[in-house]
Structure 1
Amino acid sequence: MNQLIPSFETRFRGLALALGMLLALVVGWLTVNQGILVPGLLIVVALGGPLVIALFYEPRVGVIALLSYCFLLFVLAREIPGNLPVGLAVDGLLLLTWVAVAFNNERYDWHNLQNDLCFLALAWFVINILELGNPASVSFAGWFQEFRSASLYWFLTVPLVMLIFNQKKDLNLFLYLIIGLSVLGTLNGLKQLYIGLSPGEQIYLNENAKTHMLWGKLRVFSFYSDAGQFGASQAHIALVALILALGPFKPWKRVLLLSAAVLLIVGMFVSGTRGALFALISGIAVALIISKNIKAFVFGSMLTLAGFGVLKYTHIGDDNYNIYRMRTALDPNDPSLNVRLHNQLVLRDYLSSRPLGGGVGVIGNSGIKYNSDKFLSTVPPDSYWVKVWAMYGVVGFVIWLGIMLYILGKCCGIVWNTRDPVLRTKLIALTAGVAGSLFCSYGNEVINFMPSAIIVYFSWAFVFMSPRFDVSPLD
């Protein structure tokens, strides 16, 4: 008789099945009426819940998720309709990870934050707060939008890495992630070029055809914000992979790293981003100088100069659009270069009587959206160096550039004194990549956009921390 009465477990399964079918019908109906936004949000909730739990159990998870998300956030921006503020998730991950650290504060050594890199981050953060009082009186919304990329992310990320992501294994994981995700970006870029665009990518291209379709050729942008950021980031990580491929590692690792470097250089070329070429050149120059290897310096310099000479003084490869596009970066009569120089002359005249600049968020995308009534919003900055000059004036620009050069110089000094040859190779790669990204930013907005910005912040932190785990092979 008892066998005829359904058990609690059987009834629960039946109820769960009925509720599941009802939920599926509701989601299906909402998807038909609202598009893929509803299932997209359900996926976010399904992934976000376990992530928050794991993050509070082990805050390192937040740092890893942050790094990965900064590569992939524009996939969500393009493929999910509704103009979701996906960039705010970066802020959310940073703040949530800091809350998790506060809940586990006894596990960490807070003395790790007593260094000049964190102090400089704090100083630049304070300067940006004080910019709210700039006489130019820019929009608060524009200030906040620009403040996040100009200072807030640096201020929150560097100490976080130094506090909870500060071991040799973390450095290795960082290198695996940035190279792996960048190669994934290259493969997606080649898919765009040879197979086609996804629906979201096609919409983006339609809206930005003026800058991403030149002479009928696609400037590949992959899952990055635009082709400029894609090309510069590919050059940055190609440089890192190439230097690692020349290091004291197992042959199979060197082959994989060299293959990744070649693939990433291809990604740089198909992006059509001419400024990325200078990321390679400047990064290689810094790597050769701090390598303390005279033979490598002489050979590398000759090879770099030979490559420069081929691009500058010959027409070899002109039948290939991507090579021809890169060659125009070295042409002083290039129309695009002359427009940029003209814009800089306009800014020089305007800023000559404004040593404190026009205010944070007055130029570029934030200026167009939030400060359209200001003159500076009508002038394209093209360069992050120029953007800093326009926002902070000559006073702020000198401070910013001084901070950047100090950090780069300190990184070079740390590398110079590193004894462990394996660690030294990794630090050379990171320092050269940072230098390339910084100098490339003279021609494009690079160092303030994701993922380049987050890679630079992590790289700074690892180089500054490295003396802690430097061991001589003779020790």
Structure 2
Amino acid sequence: MDNSNYIPGETRSVKLLYLLILVGLVGILMALLSMNIPLFAVIITFPFICTGGILILRYPQLMLFIIFTINYFILGITRYIPIEGISIIMDILYVLTLILIIIQSALYHNIEWKRCFHLLSAFSLLWASYCILEIMNPSALLDGWILSRGLIINGLIITVITSLLCTKYKILKAILFTYSLFTVLAILKTFMQKYVGFDTFETRWLNNGGATTHLIHSGIRYFSFFTDASNMGSNMGGAGIVLGIASLYIRNRTLKIYYVIVAIVSLYTMMLSGTRGAIIVPLAGIALYTVVSKQTRSIILGSISLALVYVFFAFTMIGQSNSSIRRMRTAFKPSEDASYIVRKENQRKLKEYLKYKPFGEGLGLSGDGLGVKLSKRFTTSIPTDSWYVKIWVETGIIGLIIYMGMVLITIGRGSWILMFNIHDPELKGILTGWLCAIFGMFMSAYGNSFWGQFPTMVIAFMGMSFILNGKYFDKELSNYTNL
């Protein structure tokens, strides 16, 4: 048999690679000669797109990090690059990820579907179903319902994606570390605003209306690359709790010190936001930690810390010359705060209006900014200033009970899991940090409507999914230890 024309498989692959490189170089040359910049950009990025696609098909967990990253920075980017329909980008990512999961399941059978069958996914499905039925609300608008799709379905999608893709303990630790890096970037941006000044785009945003709530008589409220100071303050408080509690249990000494430093600076950055409601994040987080830890020392130290913080803000004038401390202190004396009184009066008016509307006014029809653009009516004329009030106005008392029940029952279930079902100390510490931060941010959502904004909702639902799947991580670590 004549093998003179036989070309081994590896040789064919090499020749094909050379051919593709040659075609690419010719394409680049032609694009440059014709000054076709878009074609040049496509040719240059095409190999990276192909490589990225291959990696994602092989490691679908990468989509979880892509979603987490874009979610964290997406609204900050829009301050510099105007992008219409920003939420569509996230919608596309969610759909692509779900398709990828289905492909992985069909081809490789490596998707453990049982991981997404838990309390949060069931509640999220119930909430989505209720919101879908809201289209039949007599006072609802189709446009408001469509624009509220994130509120309707995102919680369920994030829960399913996280449960199916975060299947290894090393992935959980990698997400925590990634979260700490993003927190560091948010801190640095805040410090740049404070010590260097606002850049051109931030100044433009302030001049276009942001100054009314961020350049006030009590001082400047810094917002980093978040939507506003309220969002930034509560998220920095949450990061401080996640990393602070996790640092108590992390085995790696270098990582432990790093998390402690980032946690402390995060809490300081929270103060720079000037968001009074953000102070409840670390306070509520510490309160829950004292319960979940089941340690006498933690209960005593936590209780003393909470008492000292309360006494410091409520009964002393220490640090009153500092604008951040001065503004935070008003949160402990709400009856003397004019904005608090206005909020309570607005809630009284809404209560009277919604008395005979158990299903609310309709999705998107609260006075949170979106509603004002859709329709001029009583509910859109009154700012909600609270995530709870927003849910109440749009979906009624029934919707409020479902949503709050979903989050609070999940937190309660998560607390039980951490207290009695998780045995690995480091895993328990990381998950406890997530749980306490989520609880604190949800409590803070009473005074600020940041819960449904980027990046909070994704962080919260990812965190709750981690906790409810904690038994799988614990089993993995137990098997590894017993080897």
TM-score computed with the length of structure 1 as normaliser: 0.89
Tell whether the 8 Å contact from 2:286 to 2:436 is kept in structure 1 after alignment: yes
CA distance in 1, matches of 2:131, 2:25: 57
1:141 deviates by 1.9
Listed as ranges, the matches of 1:176-191 within 5 Å are 176-191=177-192
2:464 aligns to what SS in structure 1? helix
1:183 deviates by 1.6
Partner of 1:111: 114
CA distance in 1, matches of 2:228, 2:46: 28
1:23 aligns with 2:35: yes
**Please, which of 359, 363, 370 is the counterpart of residue 360 of structure 1?**
363
Partner of 1:426: 430
CA distance in 1, matches of 2:46, 2:222: 32
Which string of whole-angstrom CA distances, capped at 9 and with x for unpartnered residues, describes residues 27-76 of structure 1? 7xxxxxxxxxxx9x999999767545543343222111000011110232
1:99 aligns with 2:99: yes
Percent identity, aligned pairs only, is 26
Change (3 A) 1:339 1:52: farther
2:79 aligns to what SS in structure 1? helix
CA distance in 2, matches of 1:376, 1:224: 26
2:452 aligns to what SS in structure 1? coil
Change (3 A) 1:470 1:203: same
1:451 deviates by 1.0
Which string of whole-angstrom CA distances, capped at 9 and with x for unpartnered residues, describes residues 275-309 of structure 1? 11011111110011110111111112111210111
Change (3 A) 1:228 1:11: closer
Tell whether the 8 Å contact from 2:354 to 2:393 is kept in structure 1 after alignment: yes
Change (3 A) 1:215 1:18: same
Partner of 2:295: 293
1:246 deviates by 2.0
**Please, which of 429, 450, 453 is the counterpart of residue 449 of structure 1?**
453
Letter of the structure 2 residue corresponding to residue 308 of structure 1: Y
Partner of 2:143: 141
CA distance in 2, matches of 1:247, 1:14: 56
Tell whether the 8 Å contact from 2:359 to 2:397 is kept in structure 1 after alignment: yes
Listed as ranges, the matches of 1:393-432 within 5 Å are 393-417=396-420, 418-432=422-436
Partner of 1:340: 343
Q: Which moved more, 1:239-248 or 1:415-424?
A: 239-248
Listed as ranges, the matches of 1:310-325 within 5 Å are 310-325=312-327
Q: Which moved more, 1:83-92 or 1:388-397?
A: 83-92
Q: Which moved more, 1:276-285 or 1:215-224?
A: 215-224
Partner of 2:153: 152
Tell whether the 8 Å contact from 1:55 to 1:61 is kept in structure 2 after alignment: yes
Cα RMSD (Å): 2.6
Letter of the structure 2 residue corresponding to residue 140 of structure 1: L
1:154 deviates by 0.8
Partner of 1:35: none
Letter of the structure 1 residue corresponding to residue 411 of structure 2: L
Tell whether the 8 Å contact from 2:167 to 2:473 is kept in structure 1 after alignment: no
2:276 aligns to what SS in structure 1? coil
1:216 deviates by 7.3
Tell whether the 8 Å contact from 1:228 to 1:271 is kept in structure 2 after alignment: yes
1:242 aligns with 2:244: yes
How many pairs are equivalent?
Answer: 453
Partner of 1:4: none
CA distance in 2, matches of 1:43, 1:236: 40
1:328 aligns to what SS in structure 2? helix
Which string of whole-angstrom CA distances, capped at 9 and with x for unpartnered residues, describes residues 367-402 of structure 1? 1122x2221011101000111111111122122222
CA distance in 2, matches of 1:76, 1:263: 23
Tell whether the 8 Å contact from 2:218 to 2:323 is kept in structure 1 after alignment: no
**Please, which of 224, 237, 247 is the counterpart of residue 226 of structure 2?**
224
CA distance in 2, matches of 1:50, 1:139: 44
Change (3 A) 1:398 1:14: closer
Letter of the structure 1 residue corresponding to residue 144 of structure 2: G
Partner of 1:126: 129
Partner of 2:329: 327
2:414 aligns to what SS in structure 1? helix
2:85 aligns to what SS in structure 1? coil
CA distance in 2, matches of 1:356, 1:10: 64
Letter of the structure 2 residue corresponding to residue 58 of structure 1: Y
Letter of the structure 2 residue corresponding to residue 97 of structure 1: T
2:255 aligns to what SS in structure 1? helix
Change (3 A) 1:22 1:52: same
